[in-house]
A and B are shown apart, each in its own frame.
Chain A
Amino acid sequence: MGQMIITGLICGALLGFVMQRGRFCLTGGFRDMYLAKDNRMFYALLIAIAIQSVGVYTLISLKVFEFNAGSLPIVAVIVGSFIFGIGIIFAGGCATGTWYRAGEGLIGSWIALAGYMLVAAMVKSGVLLPLDKAIKETSIESNSIAETIGVNNWLIITIFVVVVAFIIYRELKKPRVKIPGLKPKKTGLAHILFEKRWHPFITATIIGVIATLAWPLSVATGRIGGLGITTPSANILQFLVTGQISFINWGVFLVLGIFFGSLFAAKLSGEFRFRIPDTKTAINSFCGGLLMGFGAGLAGGCSIGNGLVMTAMMTWQGWISLGFMILGTWTASYFVFVRPSKKAKQAARVITA
């Protein structure tokens, strides 16, 4: 139990710290692919996936632990991920984003988190469990991409790493505009840790390493898995209302660690303040949280569990989920950002005409 608490909290705190300082936001990243035609954050995610993939499969090859991709509940993954994608736009951040923004003092994220935990717990062990089970009945036997194609996992990983390396090379070669920054007030390590702008690719590299590290740390406490947000978030609520200690696992301390790591980072960089949302934002955050909890529960993972971890494990679940999550964010972005601005333009034209 002691080991679980310590390694879980440390791993989570590192992740929360790096995500807060590195402004690692997948919701923003997926949204900007559509709104700003900017793929930087998506490429950063690919880097984190590639590093984790090589790291974890090396550990598996060294027989540190075993991994079974299991079966693929295809309908649940598609529908759940799409709904999750819609939810994160309304919540203003994905599952991890919501945890680390809660650490920055955003009350809107606390509200989103409450909705997220509630519905995730309802899907995992509450009134929505029968629905979840019914949808998951439609499943495909093999979830491993390598197994389906009939090749070695390392072949898939190698091809993926080469593609990612090519993308990074092309990205870094592009001429860059100088982005104005704040005048530095700190020096040395304090400047790097609590002030400097981090390149998203550097942030992603560190996240890839933390995600790799999460596996052996989690496995050592009996939980075969890597980073995960949805189930642990649900577990906290399940434990709180049932008092059953069996709901406590490594993941629970991981997510609590994310909150504290982000709080620490925000506090020391002067970025922590309780911020109260207006009514509309509060309602959007809550609804977003509800959709997030339902979607991630159904899909068996959020942007981290499926989008970062199951992708690295080279499963169909991870990649199909990532695709539909992105489609979900684009759909919601259209209704939240694109359509209102088009309407405003039309209204302006009518007035001038």
Chain B
Amino acid sequence: MKRTLEVMGMICPFPLVEAKEAIKDLNSGDELEVQFDCTQGTESIPRWAAEEGHEVTEYEQVGEAAWTITIKKK
């Protein structure tokens, strides 16, 4: 299962806060795609994923100040 979390326009740290909440509802192996545009998130979201042991399956800049990251729950 893959869930999409659209947090464009949300300032930091809210995209990260939302991502942490959203992943709780997922089962192990499910994926969460986060679409965000806060610059600090490019650092804080993958860092959180790595430290929690989740796998980042995709991470891309999709446009001017717009990113998408897919995190597979451990």
Contacts and interface: CB of A to CB of B under 8 A. Distances in A.
B9 A278 contact: yes
Contacts of B67: 182
Contacts of B21: 341
Q: Chain A interface: which size bin?
A: 20 to 34
Nearest to B57: A180
A83 B13 CA distance: 20
A273 interface: yes
Interface stretch (A23-31, A158-166, A204-212, A316-324): A23-31
Contacts of B13: 28, 31, 35, 337
B49 A180 contact: yes
A271 B39 CA distance: 7
Interface in B18-56: 21, 37, 39-40, 42-44, 46-47, 49-51, 56
Contacts of B10: 281
Interface string A94-138: 000000010011101000000000000000000000000000000
A28 B15 CA distance: 13
Contact of B40 (A23, A179, A276): A23
Contacts of B65: 104-105, 266, 270-273, 275
Chain B at the A interface: mostly helix, strand, loop or mixed?
A: mixed
B64 A181 contact: no
Interface string A164-183: 00000000000001111111
Q: Chain B interface: which size bin?
A: 20 to 34
A182 B59 contact: yes
A182 B40 contact: no
Nearest to A273: B65
A93 to B, nearest CB: 8
A182 B61 contact: yes
Contacts of A106: 11
B17 interface: yes
A179 B50 contact: yes
A278 B61 CA distance: 23
B5 interface: no
A197 interface: yes
Interface of A: 20, 23, 25, 28, 31, 35, 92, 101, 104-106, 108, 177-183, 197, 266, 270-273, 275-278, 281, 337, 341
25 contacts: A20-B39, A23-B39, A23-B40, A25-B12, A25-B40, A92-B11, A101-B39, A105-B65, A106-B11, A178-B50, A179-B50, A180-B50, A180-B56, A180-B59, A181-B46, A181-B59, A182-B61, A183-B60, A266-B65, A270-B61, A270-B65, A271-B64, A281-B9, A281-B10, A337-B17
Interface of B: 9-13, 17, 21, 37, 39-40, 42-44, 46-47, 49-51, 56, 59-61, 63-67
